[in-house]
Amino acid sequence: MTQKDEALHAQLERALAKLDEALAMQKTELVRDVSVKRFELCFDIAWKLVKEHLGRQGVSCASPRECLRLAFLNNVIERDDMWFVMLKNRNLAVHTYNEEIAEAVFVILPNAAQRFHFLLDHLPKE
């Protein structure tokens, strides 16, 4: 594992702990909005971690969608359409804000957190 991988791994652990903390709180508008922002951060770190891991295997990717697709093909993570649902929701949340989108994204956050934990626990380490 390179220093960059280790740094991304540590960043994802910290960001995910903060997401877990927010999700454990009673839902309010503020908790929802904070949770969505923490999810965005976790997703961005997660795909960059996957990108770095693939790069060490000689596989190049530039976008989150491409990196996820290649991660599935290279057995870095198991094929799971939830990753693409997460990508779609991350893109909606980052580029637009409204109550309906925030609510829709908030609903998937427990499943998203589960995927992030799985990635941290199962990403092969050399």
Calpha distance 26→36 (Å, rounded): 14
Binned at pLDDT 50, 70 and 90, residue 123 comes out as confident
| Structural domains of the chain, with CATH | 3-122 (1.20.120.330)
| pLDDT higher than threshold 60 for residue 69 | yes
| pLDDT higher than threshold 90 for residue 78 | no
Residues 43-68: tens digit of each pLDDT: 999 999 999 999 999 999 999 999 99
Q: What is the DSSP letter of 58?
A: T
Among left, alpha and beta (phi > 0; psi -120 to 50; other), residue 78 is: beta
